[in-house]
Structures are given as C-alpha cells and as structure tokens.
Amino acid sequence: MEVRDLFESMDYGSAPESPDRARQWLDKRKGILDHFIGGRWVTPAGGEYFPTHNPASGELLATVADGNEADVNRAVAAAADALEGWVAIGGHGRARYLYALARHIQKHARLFSVLESLDNGKPIRESRDVDIPLVARHFYHHAGWAQVMRERLSSYRPIGVVGQIIPWNFPLLMLAWKVAPALAMGNTVVLKPAEYTPTTAVLFAELCEEIGLPRGVFNVVLGDHKAGEALVQHQEVGKVAFTGSTEVGRILRRATAGTGKKLTLELGGKSPFVVFDDTDIDSAVEGLVDAIWFNQGQVCCAGSRLLVQESVAERLHEKIRRRMERLVLGDPLDKSIDIGSLVDPTQLERVRSLVETGVEEGGELWQPDCKVPRGGSYYPPTLITEVAPSATLAQEEIFGPVLVSSTFRTPAEAVALANNSRYGLAASVWTENINLALDVAPKLKAGTVWINCTNQFDAASGFGGYRESGFGREGGIEGIYEYVKPFWESRLSKEPVQQLPRFVPAEDNSDPGGPSIDRTPKLYIGGKQCRPDGGYSNAAYDAHGEVIAEVPAGNRKDIRNAVEAARKAEGWSSMTAHGRAQILYFLAENLSARTDEFVGRIVSLSGKADDAARTEFELCIQRIWHYAAMADKYDSYVHATPFRNVTLAMKEPLGVIGIVAPEEAGLLGFVSTAMPALAMGNRVVVVPSQHYALLATDFYQVLDTSDVPGGVINIVTGDQDVLADTLARHLDIEGLWYWGSRSGSRMIEEAAAESMKRTWVNYGLHHDWFDAEQGQGESFLRRAVEIKNIWIPYGE
Amino acid sequence: MAGKPSSNVTELNSGHGHAGRNPGLPFEAELFGSLRINRSAVERRAATLGTRRSVKKNHQAAWLLRAISLIDLTTLAGDDTPGKVRRLCQKARRPVRPDVLAALGMSHAGLTTAAVCVYHNQIQVAVKALEGSGIPVAAVSTGFPAGQIPLELKLAQVRASVAAGASEIDIVISRAHVLTGNWRALYDEIAAYREACGDAHLKTILATGELGTLTQVAKASWVCMMGGADFIKTSTGKESVNATLPVSLVMVRAIRDYLELTGHAVGYKPAGGISKAKEALTYLSLMKEELDSRWLRPQLFRFGASSLLGDIERQLEHHVSGSYSASHRHPMG
C-alpha cells in the first residue's frame, strides 16, 4: 500500500518476526529431534518418531524421538552416574554452571522465543517479553541458591535423580521452573517435555552441551505418556515433579503412592478474578486481558472466572467488550497481535465444545467481530456472562481464551463464590481499599493471590496450588525445599525405636477387688466427650496384659463427626499466633500439674521405670512449650521480587489435619505430632496409639481445663488403619499425617489422590521421638502450613 | 470510574456522538469524586503499549507523517524574537524536505504541522508568517507556566491573545486548586477561560508533574472537561516531569468516559519530553487503542513538541534512502 493511503487509513499493517534462524536451527538438526542422554544425542530405542507441527499453520516443524522405557532407563542410569560428581563439585561449582546457562539463554534469547512461538503458537511478544526473560531470571536466581546452599540449607541434602514432566503451555519456562532448582540443590535430572512442544528443550540441551555441563546431569527423553509413565515408575527416581492436568496428576499420585518418591504436582485451575465496586475499572479490564487473553488463555492460573460486584457489573462488562474489540488474532510471529493459535486442533475442539455447553446451560455468549485467521487453531476472545456457580463453565477448566462471569453482592459472598471450586491455584483481587484487599486475600483458597494485578511470576516467589490444583511450590525458598531432604530422614529406622511392651493379654478379666467407680474413656469430639457411634469398645491393657479399661472403638461416623467439628472450629485458625501460644502454654501448665497421674499411667501402660516415664513426660511438656514458642516465630516473610510490590509469603494453616499418631510412642508421639499442627493454626482429628489410647483420653480432660476451644483437637480412638482409611478418603480435610505401616502409607497416598489432600507418611519407617530432629522441629512446622504468596503492588 | 450520572447529565447523553465543541457540564462533584486510579496497574499497561503493536515500513512512514501533522510546533523561550518565530513558522509550513516528501508520494498532500505555539508577544508575528497556510496559532496563556498571577489578569491575557489572532489558547490551571481539593474553584476558572476564549479553542494544561498522584490527574481532567475544555493537555514543558505514558493513559481514559457520558469528544495533547519518533508512534497507538482513529487527527490530538520533528525527519529520510540520516541534512526551524 502507498504511504499516502496509509496516511489516511492509519492501519497497523503486520510486523512479522523472521523465522529464518529458527528454521536454520531445525535444518541443522535435519528436522529430527533426538533424546539427550548422558551428554549425547541418542536415537530412540524403539526407532519410532512422531511429528510436531506449527499449530498456527499446521506445517511440520520436526520429527521427534518417541521415547520408551528403554530410553528412560538409559537416561535415569546416566543421571544416576552423574549424581556423585554433581554433588561433589559443591554449591559454588553448580552455581557457575547455572549462571552460564542463564547467560547463554540471554545470548540466544531471540532464537528461543521464535522457536517457542513456532512450536506452541503463542505470540512472539509474549515469548520474547515474558517467557524467555523469566527463564533467564530463573537460572540466575537459582545459581544463587546453589551458591548459598551450604549456609542456608546446612541440614539438607539432594534427593538424587529427579524425573520431571512438563506441559506445552510454557515449554521452556516450565523447564526452567523445574530444572533450575533441581540442579542447584545437587540433583540430576531426566526431563520429559510435552509431546506438542519439544523443540526448546532440545535447544536448551544444546546449551548444556555448549557450556560443558557434566554429562548426565541433565537428560531429555522426548515422547508421550509412555515415556512419562516409565519415568514416574522408575525405581531410581527419587522425586517426580509434574505440571499438567489434575486428571494426570491424580494418576501420578497413585502411581507413586507408597514408594517414598517425593512428589510435586502443579495442576489445573479455575482461578477467580474478583472485582469490587471501588476498583480502577479500566485497570481491571486491562488486568483481564493479562489474565485470560494471555497465552490464548492456556494458562493454569488464568483468571478465567470473573466475579464482579453487582453494582458495577454492567459497566465492567461493557468496558470488557469494548476492550475485546481491540484484540487482534493472528500469526504468532506477527509483533502486532494479541492472541495467537491454540496449541493443537484437539484443544480447539475442546474449547469449542465447552463453550457450546456453556451456551446450552444458559450462558450469554459474546465475541467481538474480529478476523479469525484460517489454517491454524485460532479461537476468538470470548466473554460468557450469567454463568452461575452450578454451570459447567464455572467449574471446569476451559484452557482457552474464554472468560466466564457472574456477580456477587458483598465481600463475604465474593469469598464464598471464589472458593466454591475444587481448584485453588491463584486468585486476583481488584479494589482500591487496602482493608478489603488484605481481608479477602487470606480467605481465598489459592496458592497465589494477586492484588490489583495478575499473572505475575518470579523465581523468588513460590507458585503452586491449594486443593486439587496440586501441592508443592516452585520458586523461592518454598520451591527449594521440594528438591532437598533433611539428613535426619535418612536416619529413620526400619524397626520401632520406642518399643511397645510385650505381653500376653490376661484371660481372666474379673476384678479381684470388686467393681471400682467406673471412669469411662470416651471419644473427644467438638470439645465434648461422646460415646462411639458403633457402641463398641476395645479392651485396654496395661504393660502386663491386664485389662484396665474399655476404650471406645471409633468408626467412620465418628471420624465424620470429628471432621465436622474440626471444620467448624475455624476460630482457631484465625486467632492470633500469640493467642494460640497462650493456650498451648496453659495446656502445658495444666498437664504439668497432673504429672504424677500421667507418669503413673505411662508406667502402667509401658512398663517403664518411674524415672524413665518421668523423663518422657517432661519431654512432652517441653515439646508443648516448644510449639507454643514457635506459634508466633515460624512466621511469614516477604520475597524480593523484581518490581515495586510486596510479595508476601504468608504461612497459613492447612485447615483440618488428620493425624494417625505413632503406635509405639504413647503420649510423646501424640504431643509431637498434634502440637506443631495446632501451633500453626490447624484443627486436628487425632487417632492416637491404640495401646496408649488411655493417655489420649486422659489428655482430653486437660484440654477441657485449658481453654482449648471445642473442635480444635478431636480424638477418635480405635483401629488406626481402619480410621486412617476413612480419613484418607474424606474429601473435606486438607492434610493427613500417618505414622504406621508401609502398606498403610501406600493406602493413604493412593486414597488422598482424589482430593489432593497433603499427606505426610512414614512408609513404615520409624522416628526416634526422643530425638531433637526426628521428633520435633521445622520439618513438622513446614508440613503444617501452606505458603500463599500475595502480590501487593504499591505506589500512588 | 465516574459515579452514576445525574438526571441532567443523562439528558446530555442523548447527543451521543455528535460533532462540535465540548460545551461542558454543570459542576457535579459526584461525577469524579469517587475516581481512583491504580498507579501500578496503569504503569503495567503503559509499559506494553509500545510492544503490543508495531508499525513497520510504509506503515511506519505514514504514521510518522501523521505525527508531523499533529505537532503544535512550539517555541516558548525568554529569548524568542520575531526572527526566530518567523523561522519556526516557515518550518511549520514545510516540515519535511521536499525530496523526501516526493519519494514518499506525499508532495501534494499539503503536509504541515497542526499549529504553531508561542507566547502572547509573538502571536501577531506568527499569524502574519502563517497567513494563507491555514495553520492556526496557539498561544500559551494565564501566566504560563506557573499561573501565579491574579485571575483578572489571566482572563485579560486570554482576551488579548484572542484579539491578537490566536485561535487556540493553552491555559495553565491553578495547581493550588487541585492540591487543596478546591474543585469548584477550578471548574469556575476553566468555565471563565472558556467564555473568554469565545471561538478560540481552549486547551487546559494540567501540569500533571505537579499534581502529585494519578488520581488527582484524573479528577483534574474531569473538572477541565466539565468546565468546557476543548483539549486537555499534560504539561507546560517546564515542569520537571512532563508527558508520560501512564499520565496519558489516565487522561485518555477520562476522555473516553466523558465521551461515553456526554457524547462530546475532547482532544488530548501530551506535551514536553516527547522527542523521539518511536515515542510518537507509541502515543498514536495509545490513542488508537484506548480511543479510536478520530484521535489521530489534529481536531482531537496534538503533540506539544519542539525537537520531535527533527527526529521524525531523520527517520523518514532513512525510510526513503535506507541510510541513517543526520540532523544537519534537514532544515531547522
């Protein structure tokens, strides 16, 4: 077109980024992408390849090695071989490699960006300005963690070989999130990229070659779920990290159950975007562009569920529609577009079909009159209003450029609607009222809350889910803990360290002294003593096998009641840490006042000498003091993320935690496991040691006198594995800690997959509950909290 | 966001979309009192304005030529003389070297800058120098740049400048009214200027660099538009911070909301600190994205700039020749 005409029309025209260098790179590899194993390019063991396409045009980009179990075995072996040397070069040695990777990524930033856009369909502006800079930042940041590992993580060691499976929506960025912390902490890696988007992982492997990363430290096995499954099931893999769908996450949770493999899952979401009536509405509209029209909406934490205060809903919707009219769909390599292509025709079909469902269910569809290019998997930006919580689209993740909207009336209702989801990945809150923002943020069940912003990411801040959005964090110190384990874990014993008394139960149960006044132990639920639902009791024996009482045999319904009571006792979680500390100190004080009674009971049940029982009891008191002290000291912190904001890493209680206490450890086991959970603000349902059940039932009398609110501690005695099963399947508890058998541990992890509750199990190994590290400490506290990162930009 | 429109305002809404000058509105604090601007969010949007759209090749040349047609070519210095002003006026008439224009196929497009902007004392010189060109003369007024003179003198200056031949008057608002929250006084002041302007167009300079917050910028924008401003303008060019993209976003969004409410299109003029061709492109993109193409015409958009033209000329020559250009190859103003 002539300049003169353009002077009148003032059109943008197109501004294509050249794909030439990326194509040259693919040509150099002859259009074939192979595995990178042990520092070498390896053809697939099965000889099979599959194609990867440019989703914007459908053209073939490359053929990709189709990995199988043999490839995975080879890669894991290479990673295992490399482990010792990688640990031995130390934190500084590893830091230098990570630093070199960061530098090289920056040097080849444009090639990475173009390849990413070609392979994934995302706009070049995003791969260039968001993905790749974040990748470099991630390696810089974690070079730092490698450097300071010895000082900051002196009691931790690497896990070993780590298997990582990453998704197609942010291929290189997800690689960075996983690989950087793993390598920094001295692990070696086998990475399985998504089958749709393998190219940048291969280019990254080339960089590893280029900087001379020791062979086998980083390995890539390409392929589909076959390779992924083999990796997850490989016995030498000590940890699995996965980002992807909740459905697959569940499969992985079950597949790794009971193996002792550490697991992090970053899964789906249906993240709320909450707009209050006092917000800067134009900014909120722009926030939505960043929330749901970023990366074609193919973002696990996309703000896909708009909740707007009814009084401003019409105005906001109008402004959103106007903004949508300006969005441009087009070739991902065009620098003037906003929305590129979905990753694959199957995704396009999925989005279409979900939108159809939404309309059938009464949603009001609106799409701008925009040009939808032909040939690729393009889907126009879409707004669907009047989407009630009961609608499919309010609950199901769409993973496309589709925003659904509904209204609320009050802050409390906004929170209720926001939390009315099985997911809990992220949330965005828009208000100019700091009181409101900081009131709402902690109430939202989400691993990340963005105040007046959205989709902000940084290597220094943890990212991860609540509920069925998965568990574990990536980024920041939170993420670092996912790639190490404490030395003490390796010292756990296969045999119980504390011994149960051995006895033959007495057959003659008649009391020679005649009946005494019967003090009946009961269940303790909601602050009340209650009889078991089933109406059965089990005999309680002393150390010599004499029956000294009948203990209630709790059942499913007792667990149900206990969880309901715990659920209601929310005041404990919102109480100040100081307040909780005061109550725990008071509890210790009251327990202390009954020293002789409890020592006598310990002697009777354990057969220990009086002084040994006294020592154990004294340690129980100290442990309560310890957690009372830590209640307001294991506190939140602020991450140094690189823009003008406070990123508040807020430690929050999980909520309701089920605790199956160690059978052999009596009162000490009860106190050691329940107290850290309580100190952090959790409410607990404890299934105490069966043999030592009477100590637990004695204990609730102390609770009654210590101002512990009803429902905060619930005690259900009975068969531990039966009750553990009910807890593991319960969908309304957030955490479950279990010290029992190996098979029980497996059962717990398998059953927990349904609701993705956080589990901590012992795989049949035993703590020394008298040991300062195994019986008490930060490991317990860390399991008792969830870290929520709240991003609060400031500046007037 | 503005509050609910009151009934008298709703009536005005019936004229949605009509052309003509902004008549203003009766003062109503409710329309802007609850406005809140989130600086961080505005800055994030501003940061991507230059990266979400890209104009290249012929499109870029066309956009740069368009930018020239939107410049209020300005000289506001204590040492301005008739000779200097006449030189500037000649540049306004022929802003681009004829051979460059010819190569772009723009020889007969009648390209000039949008206006020439001077102090009161240079109005007559400028009017004479621009005779027959159709290029209007804009005069800065009301005790520019600080505005710290009595209101009667400000009004007298406006009238005198109109009498001297200025068809556009760039007034400075009393920052004190903003900083003390005396919105009514600001409104009255603007309304008085509007009346004093008669047929001359009124541009109100907010001096955003001295208003403290973006929320104040938004509120001041609203009061100026309610008072009858034809344009709202960022800066005198003499504050330590002049036109910025975040400030522009806030003012442009105010214009959008005002248009939605009243149907009247108010113009926008960023001034001071815009000296690069690339920045000019970003500003044009801002107008197109946040408003629409009507704001790419001199009726509704101006650049207040003195050195921007030079950079655009160099870019245009580069477009034509393929070689990077030098300042001395282009006639100065």
Contacts of B103 in chain A (CB under 8 A): none
CB contact under 8 A, B38 and A4: no
Q: Would you say A171 and A194 are in contact if contact means Cβ atoms under 8 Å apart?
A: yes
The whole-angstrom distance between B332's CA and the closest CA on chain A is: 24
CA nearest to A452 within chain B:
B41
Q: Would you say A187 and A161 are in contact if contact means Cβ atoms under 8 Å apart?
A: yes
From the list A266, A478, A664, A734, the catalytic residue is A266
Tell me A130's DSSP state: I
Which tens digits make up the pLDDT trace of A691-724? 999 999 999 999 999 999 999 999 999 999 999 9
Residue of B240, B181, B236, B228 lying closest to B202 (CA atoms): B228
Which tens digits make up the pLDDT trace of A217-234? 999 999 999 999 999 999
Average pLDDT over all residues of chain B: 94
Contacts of B288 in chain A (CB under 8 A): 10
CB contact under 8 A, A10 and B37: no
- Give me the residue from B41, B56, B214 closest to A13, CB to CB: B56
pLDDT (average), residues A664-691: 98
Residue A66: which region, alpha, beta or left (left: phi > 0; alpha: psi -120 to 50)?
beta
Residue of A428, A457, A123 lying closest to A294 (CA atoms): A123
Candidates A3, A17, A126, A452, partner chain B, best to mutate (most B CBs within 10 A): A3
CB contact under 8 A, B54 and A336: yes
CB contact under 8 A, B63 and A278: no
Domain extents for chain B? Answer: 29-329
Contacts of B316 in chain A (CB under 8 A): none
Candidates B13, B54, B208, partner chain A, best to mutate (most A CBs within 10 A): B54
Confidence of residue B8 (pLDDT cuts 50, 70, 90): very low
pLDDT at B5 over 50: no
High-pLDDT (> 70) share of chain B, %: 94
Which tens digits make up the pLDDT trace of A286-321? 999 999 999 999 999 999 999 999 999 999 999 999
Which tens digits make up the pLDDT trace of B187-234? 999 999 999 999 999 999 999 999 999 999 999 999 999 999 999 999
The whole-angstrom distance between A559's CA and the closest CA on chain B is: 48
**What gap in Å lies between CA A713 and CA A700, rounded to an integer?**
9
Confidence of residue A380 (pLDDT cuts 50, 70, 90): very high
Tell me A794's DSSP state: -
pLDDT at B10 over 60: no
Evaluated on CA atoms A523, A528, A533, A536, the torsion sign reads positive
Interface of A with B (CB under 8 A): 1-7, 10-15, 125, 129, 278-284, 286-287, 290, 312, 315, 326, 335-336, 338, 432, 452-453, 644-645, 793-796
Residue of A324, A266, A337 lying closest to A295 (CA atoms): A337
Contacts of A436 in chain B (CB under 8 A): none
pLDDT (average), residues A330-357: 98
Taking one residue from A and the other from B, the number of pairs with CB-CB distance under 8 angstroms is 109
pLDDT (average), residues A612-621: 98
CA nearest to A130 within chain B:
B48
CB contact under 8 A, A286 and B44: yes
Tell whether B278 lies on the interface with A, counting CB pairs under 8 A: no
pLDDT of residue A427: 98
Confidence of residue A505 (pLDDT cuts 50, 70, 90): confident
- Give me the residue from B39, B40, B55 closest to A15, CB to CB: B55
CB contact under 8 A, A13 and B106: no
CA nearest to A279 within chain B:
B36
Candidates B1, B16, B38, partner chain A, best to mutate (most A CBs within 10 A): B38
Tell whether B214 lies on the interface with A, counting CB pairs under 8 A: yes
pLDDT of residue A629: 98
Confidence of residue A506 (pLDDT cuts 50, 70, 90): confident
CB contact under 8 A, B51 and A795: no
- Give me the residue from A5, A12, A644 closest to B55, CB to CB: A12
pLDDT of residue A250: 97
ipTM for this model: 0.94
**What gap in Å lies between CA B247 and CA B239, rounded to an integer?**
14
Look up the CATH superfamily of B29-329.
Aldolase class I (3.20.20.70)
Confidence of residue B266 (pLDDT cuts 50, 70, 90): very high
Which burial class, exposed, middle or buried, applies to A410 when counting CB atoms under 10 A from its CB (0-12, 13-18, 19+)?
exposed
Peptide bond into A198 cis (omega under 30): no
Confidence of residue A519 (pLDDT cuts 50, 70, 90): confident
Q: Would you say A479 and A488 are in contact if contact means Cβ atoms under 8 Å apart?
A: no
CA nearest to B320 within chain A:
A3
pLDDT of residue A509: 57
Which tens digits make up the pLDDT trace of B135-162? 999 999 999 999 999 999 999 999 999 9
A-proximal residues of B, 109-128, CB under 8 Å: 109
- Phi, psi for residue B72 in degrees, rounded to 5: -90, 95
pLDDT (average), residues B173-181: 98
Tell whether B105 lies on the interface with A, counting CB pairs under 8 A: yes
CB contact under 8 A, B215 and A796: yes
Average pLDDT over all residues of chain A: 97
Which tens digits make up the pLDDT trace of A104-149? 999 999 999 999 999 999 999 999 999 999 999 999 999 999 999 9
pLDDT (average), residues B64-85: 98
- Give me the residue from B42, B58, B253 closest to A3, CB to CB: B58
**What gap in Å lies between CA A379 and CA A292, rounded to an integer?**
13
Residue of A26, A20, A21 lying closest to A52 (CA atoms): A26
pLDDT of residue A1: 83
Tell whether B13 lies on the interface with A, counting CB pairs under 8 A: no
CA atoms within 13 A on the CB side of A376: 28
Which tens digits make up the pLDDT trace of A205-221? 999 999 999 999 999 99
Residue of B243, B224, B223 lying closest to B302 (CA atoms): B243
- Give me the residue from A3, A283, A644 closest to B105, CB to CB: A3
Tell whether B106 lies on the interface with A, counting CB pairs under 8 A: yes
Tell me A708's DSSP state: P
CB contact under 8 A, B41 and A278: no
Residue of A41, A23, A131, A116 lying closest to A78 (CA atoms): A41
Candidates A129, A276, A280, partner chain B, best to mutate (most B CBs within 10 A): A280
pLDDT (average), residues B60-76: 98
pLDDT of residue A510: 57
CB contact under 8 A, A280 and B38: yes
Evaluated on CA atoms A193, A198, A202, A203, the torsion sign reads negative
Tell me A284's DSSP state: H
CB contact under 8 A, B34 and A453: no
Is A370 catalytic? The answer is no
Which tens digits make up the pLDDT trace of B16-49? 444 589 999 999 999 999 999 999 999 999 999 9
pLDDT of residue A514: 56
A-proximal residues of B, 24-53, CB under 8 Å: 34, 36-45, 48, 51-53
Contacts of A286 in chain B (CB under 8 A): 41, 44-45
- Give me the residue from A278, A281, A335 closest to B54, CB to CB: A335
pLDDT (average), residues A189-213: 98
Q: Would you say A239 and A257 are in contact if contact means Cβ atoms under 8 Å apart?
A: no
- Give me the residue from A15, A125, A282 closest to B56, CB to CB: A15
Q: What six digits make up the tokens of A790?
A: 């709240």
Rounded to 10 deg, the angle between the B39-52 and A281-292 helix axes is 50
Confidence of residue A508 (pLDDT cuts 50, 70, 90): low
